[in-house]
Amino acid sequence: MASILIVDPKEGRQSIFREAIKPHQGTLCTTADDALKALAEERFHIIFCWYGDDKEAELLCKVREQEHKTFFIDIVEDEAAAAAAAMPRKRAGKKEAKPDSFIGSSFTVGDVDEEIRKAAKALGIAGETAKADIRDLKKLAARVAENDRPVLIYGEPGTGKRTLARHIHALSRRGKAGGPCKVFPCADLDAREMESELFGHEKGAFPWAVNENPGLLRQSTRGTVVLAGINRLGKEVQRKLSILLEDPLCRYTRLGGQEAISADIRLIATSEEPLPQKLEDSSCRDLFSLLAQNYIEVAPLRSRTEELQTLLARFNPKGIKISADALEVLRTYPWPRNLEELKFAMDWALLKTERLVEVHHLPDYLVNAAWRMPRV
């Protein structure tokens, strides 16, 4: 799986890149300054950088100083700009660099997937899988845990996004230092309650605010806040989160307060829908980019049937054997509720037997639905 850094300020192109890097480890920055910070913390195989950025040449020189190979691609508007982009690349080439540390190219935005494939082939990583399996997901979580930037985890309901968020926290410096990991369910409250619970409120901020509420951000100091279901977040809270993430000191104000408070937290957001579709307010359009500095997509269970036995072992602590017919039913069923439903099915079966799980031990609705599925 390729590790990819995108440096592009244009929102229209960002959406193209986001789709293209979903199967990979991707980081998206809007400026070369942010990219330089990311480069100091992580290793990237492929870097796409907008040629119009003032610090593109500086980023290019940093890439050349690295020990490992990196494929650096200038994003240009047309072929004339591609020719101009070659000049700073040649100048960077005159600087002393490690042998074979840099491969250059440029392209006009078109088939990004093809550009990634070509770059991966040039680097000798073309054979790596594009869709992350459980092992890749664990490696990706470990990499993401190494930095302190926000994380966005996207996946269908029941794919284990909260579990993954807690795992990232546990592996991070905050988790290892004993910092808290608090989950904020975005769907359970109305807009005012949501803002009050997350940011806090002063006494008298509204009629029923008889006491001060420090808010979840303050209560999670030196820890992680997991915003579960951020696709359901209200516009005002979206706006305040954008302001907090854009501020180097992560400052915010409580409801009814004037004092700026600095939040010493890491944000991990989960979403069951592609987030850009939900960020319609003009003041919140950059929230996706701010959150998706680390982006992880968890594949649905129906596309991970080759991992089924590994997943079943997680919900089968006694190691009770499963018959070939029962296993075929489990492989065929489409799992609309993903891991949550798989756990339910195994819990149900293990209540009925302690020797061998047969087809008749599985929930009837699941067996009937599996038998109706077309055979390939």
pLDDT at 65 over 80: no
CA distances from 276 to 19, 298, 300, 302 (A): 11, 17, 20, 25
Looking at residue 133, what is its pLDDT?
58
- Using one digit for the tens of pLDDT, what is the confidence trace for 80-131? 544 554 544 444 444 443 434 455 555 555 567 677 777 776 665 543 333 4
User: Where does residue 308 fall: left (phi above 0), alpha (psi -120 to 50 degrees), or beta otherwise?
Assistant: alpha
Amino acid letter, 162? R
CATH topology of domain 302-372: Helicase, Ruva Protein; domain 3 (1.10.8)
Looking at residue 24, what is its pLDDT?
67
Domain-wise residue ranges, the chain: 3-123, 134-297, 302-372
CATH topology of domain 134-297: Rossmann fold (3.40.50)
Looking at residue 215, what is its pLDDT?
93
Kindly report the three-state secondary structure assignment for every residue of the chain: CCEEEEECCCHHHHHHHHHHHCCCEEEEECCHHHHHHHHHHCCCCEEEEECCCCCHHHHHHHHHCCCCCEEEEEEECCHHHHHHHHHHHHHHHHCCCCCCCEEEEEEECCCHHHHHHHHHHHHCCCCCCCCCCHHHHHHHHHHHHCCCCCEEEECCCCCCHHHHHHHHHHHCHHHHCCCCEEEEECCCCCHHHHHHHHHCECCCCCCCCCCCECHHHHHCCCEEEEEECHHHCCHHHHHHHHHHHHCCCCEECCECCCCCEECCEEEEEEECCCHHHCCCCHHHCCHHHHHCCEEEECCCHHHCHHHHHHHHHHCCCCCCEECHHHHHHHHHCCCCCHHHHHHHHHHHHHHHCCCEECHHHCCHHHHHHHHHCCCC
- Fold match flag (3-123 vs 302-372): no
Mean pLDDT of the chain: 80
Looking at residue 262, what is its pLDDT?
94
Q: Which two tokens stand for residue 131?
A: 């869709």
pLDDT at 176 over 90: yes
Asked if residues 76 and 82 have their Cβ atoms less than 8 Å apart, the reply is: yes
pLDDT bracket for residue 214 (50, 70, 90): very high
pLDDT bracket for residue 68 (50, 70, 90): low
Cα(328)–Cα(311) distance, integer angstroms = 15
Asked if residues 267 and 150 have their Cβ atoms less than 8 Å apart, the reply is: yes
pLDDT bracket for residue 36 (50, 70, 90): confident
**CA–CA–CA angle 182, 169, 232 (5° rounding):** 50
Cα(331)–Cα(32) distance, integer angstroms = 46
Q: In this predicted model, which residue has the larger pLDDT, 371 or 198?
A: 198
CATH of 3-123, one of 3.30.470.20, 2.40.37.10, 3.40.50.2300, 3.40.50.720: 3.40.50.2300
Q: In this predicted model, which residue has the larger pLDDT, 140 or 134?
A: 140
Q: Which two tokens stand for residue 199?
A: 């940011």
Looking at residue 94, what is its pLDDT?
40
pLDDT at 376 over 50: no
Looking at residue 93, what is its pLDDT?
43
Q: In this predicted model, which residue has the larger pLDDT, 47 or 276?
A: 47
User: Where does residue 131 fall: left (phi above 0), alpha (psi -120 to 50 degrees), or beta otherwise?
Assistant: beta
Q: Once rounded to an integer, what is the mean pLDDT over residues 184-190?
A: 80
